[in-house]
Amino acid sequence: GEDVEQSLFLSVREGDSSVINCTYTDSSSTYLYWYKQEPGAGLQLLTYIFSNMDMKQDQRLTVLLNKKDKHLSLRIADTQTGDSAIYFCAEPLSGYSTLTFGKGTMLLVSP
Amino acid sequence: GAVVSQHPSWVICKSGTSVKIECRSLDFQATTMFWYRQFPKQSLMLMATSNEGSKATYEQGVEKDKFLINHASLTLSTLTVTSAHPEDSSFYICSVFSDYGYTFGSGTRLTVV
């Protein structure tokens, strides 16, 4: 099977930058995704990156992709308390039109 | 983007009863929908792929007779947890894949008492 690995917990102060890391397994993945899940809610697509890109920036979010190392990161600039949530990276499941997820990184932002 | 509505948001049921969860694709005709299960502090695990007009495809270890999936139309898939037990308590989420990518429902928190 395929495993997507993430660190489980990150704590930052409001206003700092947060960096959430992920390693994936399928080098043929065309897209890689970041989702946000607030308590008791479904998943909200935050951003995605196409595999031929090294970086993508979308307002406070910056995604970096290192295909050689199969490493994906999500940087949140000026982190706010409302950013506290669980963040999942995901890649398409080989042979399926669905996704395989990491275990999620819980981001806790303190005032 | 695609809009997915999932109902109910939460349900409490007695052990031994059955519970139906609905997943609707509001603005997109979804021939395929996906059902996930999430235990506390765990990742999402794919349970089954729901195919319109045909049988669902279940992942290894998921009991098809316990988790009945019906995808009778292009906009509705249902997941019925039959003879629910406390160990079935979990967060169930559906998803569709469209031109806008993967869209998830808001999830259903099932608690079996």
pLDDT reported for residue A26: 79
B86 reaches A (C-beta below 8 A): no
Residue contact A93–B46, C-beta within 8 A: yes
pLDDT at B24 over 70: yes
- For the sheet with A18-23, list strands across it: A5-6, A18-23, A71-76, A61-66, A55-58
Which of B98, B59, B72, B92 lies closest to A97, judged by CA?
Answer: B98
Average pLDDT over residues B14-37: 93
CA separation for the pair A28, A41 (Å, rounded): 30
Choose the closest CB to B46 out of A31, A45, A98: A98
Average pLDDT over residues B8-33: 93
The phi-psi region of residue A15 (left if phi > 0; otherwise alpha if psi is between -120 and 50; otherwise beta) is: left
pLDDT reported for residue A96: 60
pLDDT reported for residue B27: 86
Residue contact B93–A104, C-beta within 8 A: no
pLDDT tens, position by position, A39-92: 878 888 899 999 889 999 999 999 999 999 999 999 999 999 999 999 999 988
Structure tokens belonging to residue B87: 């160990």
Q: pLDDT band at B19, cuts 50/70/90?
A: very high
